[in-house]
Amino acid sequence: IGLGCMSMSSGSYNPPRSAKEMVPVIRGAIDRGVTFFDTAEVYGPFTNELIVGEALKPVRDQVVLASKLGFKFDNGQRAGRDSRPVAIRKAVEGMLKRLQTDRIDLLYLHRVDPNVPVEDVAGTMGELIKEGKARHFGLSEVSPTTLRKAHKEYPVTAVQSEYSIMERSVENQVLDTCKALGVGFVPWGSVCRGFLADKFNEYSRFSDDSRFASVPYFTPEAIKTNLVILDQIRVWSDERGITPAQFSIAWLLAQHPFIVPIPGTTKLHHLDEDLGALSVTFSASELAHFRTVIENIELAGFRAKDAALTDK
C-alpha cells in the first residue's frame, strides 16, 4: 500500500493543510514502512509537490516517488491539458525543483491530451528516462487502446485510475490489458472518497463549492440508494472484526497481484487503519460470494466527470 498525498494540500475534498501539519504525517508513514508516495503538479497546484519533496528529502533514496503532469496553468489555475513534448519537459524541470530531487521514479501522464498523440508522449517520457530525470513511465485514466499504443512506443510501468468496490469500470478491459502487458495498476479512490470508510450517512449534505457536490454518487438521493452497498460491507467487516475501509482496501488487493492501492489521508490513525488491510485475507469462495452480492446491488449516480475516461 502506498500513500496518496493529494488531500494534504489540494483542498479538493477537505481544507488544504500546511507543510508543518503534513510533513510529519508523511514521515510517520515512512516510519510505518510505507515506501510509495503519490503526488502531482496539479495538486494545489504545485504546493503538494513542495510538501512531499520536503518530507521525503532525508530518505529520498529509500522511497519510490510518483508524480503526474499534463496540464497547463494560467495564474496558478489549471487551464486545460498540454502534453506537447516541450510542455512535458518544462513541467518536469519545475517538478524536480519542487520535489527537491534529481529524478522522479514514476512519472505519469495525468490525463490524455486529445491534441497530442500518446505515442509522442511515450517517446518524450522515454527520452526523459534515458536522461535520468525519470525512471518509469505511467499513464492515468486511459483506455485499453491508448495503453497499448503508448506501451508499443515505450514500456508503460503502471496505470493509475479510479477503482473501488463501488467504481469498477476498469474491470471492463483495462485491468485485463494491464495483465496482458505486464503493467502494474495503482487504484485511486480505494474507499470512494470516504464513502466506503463509513464517512457519510443519509443525512450527509455538501455545500455547492464542495468537490463532493460535483460527484453524482453523493447527491442526497444517490447516497440513500448507495448506502445499501455500505450496509453490506459493514456486515462483512463486522463478521471479520475489521473496518469497512480495511475491507474495501483488502478487497482491492485481492483482485490482482499487480495492484497497489494508494489511499489518501491527513491523519496517522487513518493510515494505521488503512495499513491494517494488509493483514486481511479472503478465500476464493469468499471473493466469489462478495462478487455475486456486489454485482447485484444497483448503485445510483456515477463518478465525477473530470475523472472520466477521455479516450474510448
Could you please report the per-residue DSSP string of 211-255?
A: GGGG-GGGSHHHHHHHHHHHHHHHHHHHHHT--HHHHHHHHHHHH
pLDDT at 139: 99
How is domain 3-192+255-281 classified at the CATH fold level?
A: TIM Barrel (3.20.20)
Q: What is the pTM of this model?
A: 0.94
pLDDT at 199: 79
CA dihedral 283, 284, 285, 288 (to 10 degrees): 120
* 69 strand-pairing partners: 109
Q: Which of 43, 108, 154, 163 is catalytic?
A: 43
Task: Name which of 9-18, 84-93, 201-210, 227-236 the model is least confident about.
Answer: 201-210
**Grid cell digits, residue 151:** 506501451
pLDDT at 14: 72
Listed residue (79, 84, 144, 76) closest to 113, CA to CA: 84
Note the pLDDT tens digit of each residue in 101-122: 999 999 999 999 999 999 999 9
**Grid cell digits, residue 198:** 463509513
To 5 degrees, how large is the angle CA 90–CA 91–CA 96? 105
What is the pLDDT averaged over residues 175-201? 94
Sheet holding 64-69, edge to edge: 3-4, 36-38, 64-69, 104-109, 134-140, 158-162, 184-188
Average pLDDT, whole number, for the chain? 93
**Exposed, middle or buried by CB within 10 Å (0-12, 13-18, 19+), for 149?**
middle
Inter-CA distances, 157 with 254, 258, 261, Å: 20, 11, 15
pLDDT band of residue 308 (cuts 50, 70, 90) is very low
Rounded distance between C-alpha atoms, residue 53 and residue 49, angstroms: 6
pLDDT band of residue 217 (cuts 50, 70, 90) is confident
pLDDT at 208: 58
What is the pLDDT averaged over residues 198-221? 68
pLDDT band of residue 301 (cuts 50, 70, 90) is confident
CB 10 within 8 A of CB 43: yes
- 217 carries an active-site annotation: no
pLDDT band of residue 193 (cuts 50, 70, 90) is confident
Listed residue (303, 290, 162) closest to 222, CA to CA: 303
Note the pLDDT tens digit of each residue in 45-63: 999 999 999 999 999 999 9
Task: Name which of 60-69, 83-92, 206-215, 243-252 the model is least confident about.
Answer: 206-215
pLDDT at 311: 42
pLDDT band of residue 218 (cuts 50, 70, 90) is confident
